[in-house]
């Protein structure tokens, strides 16, 4: 993403573990020689940030489903509306 935006072209390397090792050891210049390393690093950071935001949002949404809603009446509030409570 960063290489394409910086003018390095859209020529991604194959998605393999050796590519990841090359990126970690030799830096972005080894994979995209004509692209700015700052642009490549920024592209990686943006993709990682979006992925992290999606994961955090998903976790928050899933954790919120198991909770009991606070706005509904419970047994104590409904006791006066039941036939036994209305007769008293």
Rounded-to-integer distance, Cα 42 and Cα 4, Å: 12
Q: What is the mean pLDDT of the chain?
A: 80
Greater pLDDT, 36 or 21:
21
Q: Rounded to two decimals, what is the model's pTM?
A: 0.55
Nearest CA to 37 among 51, 52, 45, 27? Answer: 27
pLDDT digits (tens, 9 = 90+) for 46-68: 989 999 999 999 998 888 776 66
Q: How many residues does the chain have?
A: 88
Given this model, what pLDDT does residue 55 score?
Answer: 97
- Residue 21: is its pLDDT beyond 70? yes
Would you list the domain boundaries of the chain? 2-87
Nearest CA to 40 among 57, 19, 59? Answer: 19
Average pLDDT over residues 57-84: 80
Could you say which DSSP state residue 33 is in?
T
Rounded-to-integer distance, Cα 75 and Cα 81, Å: 10
Radius of gyration of the chain (CA): 27
Average pLDDT over residues 69-85: 77
């Amino acid at each position: 993403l960063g290489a394409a935006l910086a003018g390095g072209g859209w020529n991604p390397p194959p998605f393999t573990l050796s590519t990841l090792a090359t990126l970690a050891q030799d830096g972005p210049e080894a994979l995209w020689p004509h692209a700015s390393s700052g642009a490549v690093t920024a592209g990686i950071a943006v993709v990682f940030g979006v992925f992290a935001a999606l994961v955090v949002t998903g976790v928050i949404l899933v954790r919120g489903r198991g909770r009991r809603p606070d706005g509904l009446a419970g047994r104590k509030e409904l006791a006066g509306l039941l036939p036994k409570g209305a007769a008293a």
